[in-house]
Structure 1
Amino acid sequence: MLNRVVLVGRLTRDPELRYTPNGVAVANFTLAVNRAFSNQQGERDADFINCVIWRKQAENVANYLKKGSLAGVDGRIQTRSYDNNEGKRVFITEVVAESVQFLEPRGSSNSNQGQGFGGGSPGFSGNDFGQQNQNQNQNRPSGGFNDDPFANDGKPIDISDDDLPF
């Protein structure tokens, strides 16, 4: 039997961190994952997938991820049910994450605003990347052999998607 899930998406809200009565950390979050195809209007739909992670990783997720953060989740699907206050059976399907990868540098999760969840290139836009390099290079002495030959002057990098190895 095999039950394995691998997802890449953006958090739709800040993770919710709680502790069990025994002191075990558990975090819940929802990932918006774009579908591989467009709908009839030419737009990409997204699936909103509930995830849960336990223990130290739950604390890390709560501390370092926030709404809009790009994350990769590796885990398994789990279903459970309970009876609500009205006596109706409620079924829940969620991904129990075994690991969560933070897929972009801290603080850059909103670089794709306006493009929807996961739209465009994940992580950096050309202007953000150039600005980061420019800020980093302001504190370095120039003229040494450690100068970054790939640093630019704050302008977007001109490279086509065909030149990228991924």
Structure 2
Amino acid sequence: MSLPNVNGTARLIEDPQLRYSASGSAVVTVRLAFNSRKKDQSGQWVDDATCFLDGKVFGQAAENLAESVARGLEVVVSGRLKTESWEQDGAKRSKTVLLVDSIGPALRYATAKVSKASGGGGQGGGQRGGSGGGRQGGAPAEDPWAQSSAQGGQAGGWGGGSGGYSDEAPF
């Protein structure tokens, strides 16, 4: 049986907390607040119930997240709910956490400048190991979308040169 999925928009209520496991793997904990709004009888928007969850991100994605977001930012998040259990002072405890698969800034009321992370070795965020090809911040050499006008004279990887565009893909 698989864990239940959660997709939604949340707000970070604390800065991400970056830690490293005993094996050296990065782990980030983010405190998330999911809330809903609804219209009351007078037609005004009011805040409704709020759900607070701790999100956990692992590997290179954890390091990327710790550098990219801060308290108060609205994020779009996707992940799986899991119950963590432990014993504290002889009492059994548990809480539900979100194992984050994907997270990023919500761009409804913000802007973001995205840059490709260096390194990572393919551990998280959908990155493939060795894809940098020695080019800093660039796309892999086999990426047809990364062609510049200096490579093959195509504008943005499309078209037949001199700035024109065609309906034919560059591959």
The bucket for the TM-score relative to the shorter chain is 0.5 to 0.7
Q: 1:38/1:13 Cα in 2 relative to 1: closer, same or farther (>3 Å)?
A: farther
The answer as to 2:57 corresponding to 1:53 is yes
Aligned residues: 107
Q: Which runs of 4+ in 1 moved over 6 A?
A: none
Q: Tell me the equivalent position of 1:88.
A: 91
Please point out which of 123, 147, 163 is paired with 2:109: 123
Q: Supply the AA of the counterpart residue of 2:82.
A: Q
1:80 and 1:33 map into 2 onto residues whose CA distance is 20
When normalised by structure 2's length, the TM-score is 0.56
1:30 and 1:100 map into 2 onto residues whose CA distance is 13
Identity of aligned residues (%): 30
1:98 deviates by: 0.9
Q: Tell me the equivalent position of 2:17.
A: 16
2:54 and 2:37 map into 1 onto residues whose CA distance is 19
CA contact (8 A) 1:35 1:47 kept: no
Counterpart secondary structure, 1:21: coil
RMSD: 2.4
Aligned pairs for 1:16-165 (under 5 A) are 16-37=17-38, 43-45=46-48, 46-84=50-88, 86-104=89-107, 122-124=108-110
CA contact (8 A) 1:10 1:69 kept: yes
CA contact (8 A) 1:29 1:51 kept: yes
Counterpart secondary structure, 1:58: helix
1:35 and 1:49 map into 2 onto residues whose CA distance is 15
Counterpart secondary structure, 2:14: coil
Q: Supply the AA of the counterpart residue of 1:8.
A: T
2:75 and 2:59 map into 1 onto residues whose CA distance is 18
Which protein is bigger by CA-based radius of gyration? 2
1:27 and 1:19 map into 2 onto residues whose CA distance is 8
1:110-162 per-residue CA deviation (whole Å, 9 max, x = no partner) reads xxxxxxxxxxxx415xxxxxxxxxxxxxxxxxxxxxxxxxxxxxxxxxxxxxx
When normalised by structure 1's length, the TM-score is 0.57
Counterpart secondary structure, 1:62: helix
1:49 deviates by: 1.8
Q: Which runs of 5+ in 1 are unaligned?
A: 105-121, 125-166
CA contact (8 A) 1:20 1:26 kept: yes
Q: Which runs of 5+ in 2 are unaligned?
A: 111-171
The structure with more helix, counted as a fraction of residues = 1
CA contact (8 A) 1:28 1:53 kept: yes
Larger relative contact order (Cα-Cα within 8 Å, sequence gap ≥ 6) = 1
